[in-house]
Amino acid sequence: MTREHTKQIRVGRVAVGGGAPVSVQSMCSTRTSDAEATLAQIRRLAAEGCDIIRVAVPDGAAADAMERICAESPLPVVADIHFDYRLALRCAEAGAAKIRINPGNIGGAEHVRLVAEACGARGIPIRIGINAGSLEKRLLEQYGAPTAQALVESAADHAALLERFGFTDICLSLKASSVPLTLAAYRLAAQRFPYPLHLGVTEAGTPLQGTVRSAMGIGAALLDGIGDTIRVSLTADPAEEVRAGIAILRAAGLRGGPQVVSCPTCGRTQIDLIAAANEVERRLAGCGRDITVAVMGCVVNGPGEAREADYGLAGGKGEAVLFRRGEIVRKVPEPGMVDALMALIEEDKER
Ligand code: SF4
């Protein structure tokens, strides 16, 4: 089922599935019991463009802090809970916008019923988070390894537990650290379930490796029309996850905003192009316009190669030309060329 056709759930004010814009999630790295530090991190991630935030609730102290966190957070808060259904009940009461559990590990049908009722009464969806690393023994024996089919069967079993109590406000994730396995599982899940899918490659790694692996796994699914909300998992500041998530959505053509394209430089480059490209990217970060800005090393190829760009700069010797949709606008000296490019972009905005 492609993203237009899944069931839609609401995570606080953010719609997920049913054709809603694909949202970006991250997870706090603070101790949830420290509400002050957690809220500070959530505000920082909201400023980076994060749509939904998840926090770990491993104990009573974390659950104690949830009421304040949920009340003051600028983003809908997802409570991540393992094993203890009472923590899920407390988080539902504290104002969590979604609960992430595995109904199979919170202690029997009666506990699942209590959590489903508490969430159902408040309109709180539940994400079933299947992970290749913690697959049920029965499925491992049946399939011999955590295969895509095994992950999907696990999701089906967990979903059935909730459905038994009339609860269908469900979102699913099926994560593995192997990109091909993750993608195969999501493709199978999309054929089988009507529920929205939370995409992610788990334990993806440090920023470069993790971003590449996530861009492949999440990106490939998104290009297939699969996936309704994404989380890039990185061993890094969660702000990096948000930036990577937004970049993946933009690359897949699923989120607007500025795109900076730049050439790789070569023997023709006579300006400090790397610094210029980084500065343009930084200065456009808060720009909400759907524009493509090219930063190119030379006039010989630059404006032509970047003809599709709305604005651009191409370096010469000690100077640069500014162009707009392939047409040269003016020459500017190299010092201050980025200022001049930004001024050109601003000028058009004011027209
Ligand atoms: Fe080289 Fe010019 Fe192409 Fe940049 S745009 S890679 S400087 S030929």
Number of the ligand 1 atom closest to the C-alpha atom of 269: 7
pLDDT at 103 over 90: no
Half-sphere exposure of 14 (CA within 13 A, CB side): 21
Q: State mean pLDDT over 282-304.
A: 88
Distance 305 CA to ligand 1 centre (A): 9
- Name the closest-CA residue to atom 8, ligand 1: 301
Is the distance from the beta carbon of residue 320 to the nearest atom of ligand 1 less than 6 Å?
Answer: no
* Inter-CA distances, 91 with 163, 212, 247, 271, 299, Å: 21, 34, 32, 55, 59
pLDDT at 266 over 90: yes
Is the distance from the beta carbon of residue 27 to the nearest atom of ligand 1 less than 6 Å?
Answer: no
pLDDT attached to residue 287: 85
pLDDT attached to residue 11: 98
pLDDT attached to residue 72: 98
Q: State mean pLDDT over 123-148.
A: 94
Q: How far apart are CA 306 and CA 323, in angstroms?
A: 9
Is the distance from the beta carbon of residue 298 to the nearest atom of ligand 1 less than 6 Å?
Answer: yes
Is the distance from the beta carbon of residue 265 to the nearest atom of ligand 1 less than 6 Å?
Answer: yes
Is the distance from the beta carbon of residue 295 to the nearest atom of ligand 1 less than 6 Å?
Answer: no
pLDDT bucket at 351, cuts 50 / 70 / 90: low
pLDDT digits (tens, 9 = 90+) for 65-96: 999 999 999 999 999 999 899 999 999 999 99
Share of the chain above pLDDT 70, in %: 99
Is the distance from the beta carbon of residue 269 to the nearest atom of ligand 1 less than 6 Å?
Answer: yes
Share of the chain above pLDDT 90, in %: 86
Q: How far apart are CA 344 and CA 316, in angstroms?
A: 18
Distance 158 CA to ligand 1 centre (A): 54
* Inter-CA distances, 149 with 186, 187, 284, Å: 10, 10, 43
Residue tagged 């606080």 (tokens): 12
pLDDT bucket at 340, cuts 50 / 70 / 90: very high
3-state secondary structure of 179: helix
Per-residue three-class SS string for 186-242: HHHHHHHCCCCEEECCCCCCCHHHHHHHHHHHHHHHHHCCCCCEEECCCCCCHHHHH
Residue 127 identity: R
pTM: 0.92
Distance 262 CA to ligand 1 centre (A): 9
Task: Tell me the best of 262, 273, 305 to mutate to test the pocket of ligand 1, counting ligand atoms within 8 Å of each CB and taking the most.
Answer: 305
pLDDT bucket at 350, cuts 50 / 70 / 90: low
pLDDT at 184 over 90: yes
- Name the closest-CA residue to atom 6, ligand 1: 265
Q: State mean pLDDT over 223-238.
A: 97
Number of the ligand 1 atom closest to the C-alpha atom of 296: 5
pLDDT at 263 over 90: yes
Least confident of 100-109, 257-266, 277-286: 100-109
Q: State mean pLDDT over 244-261.
A: 94
pLDDT attached to residue 300: 81
Task: Tell me the best of 300, 307, 323 to mutate to test the pocket of ligand 1, counting ligand atoms within 8 Å of each CB and taking the most.
Answer: 300
Number of the ligand 1 atom closest to the C-alpha atom of 263: 4
Q: How far apart are CA 274 and CA 281, in angstroms?
A: 11
pLDDT attached to residue 233: 94
Q: How far apart are CA 303 and CA 75, in angstroms?
A: 41
Task: Tell me the best of 262, 263, 274, 321 to mutate to test the pocket of ligand 1, counting ligand atoms within 8 Å of each CB and taking the most.
Answer: 263
Mean pLDDT of the chain: 94
Number of the ligand 1 atom closest to the C-alpha atom of 299: 2
Is the distance from the beta carbon of residue 268 to the nearest atom of ligand 1 less than 6 Å?
Answer: yes
Q: State mean pLDDT over 225-235.
A: 97
Q: How far apart are CA 87 and CA 63, in angstroms?
A: 6
Is the distance from the beta carbon of residue 288 to the nearest atom of ligand 1 less than 6 Å?
Answer: no
Least confident of 14-28, 218-232, 247-261: 247-261
Stronger pLDDT, 133 or 200, i.e. the higher one: 200
pLDDT attached to residue 134: 86
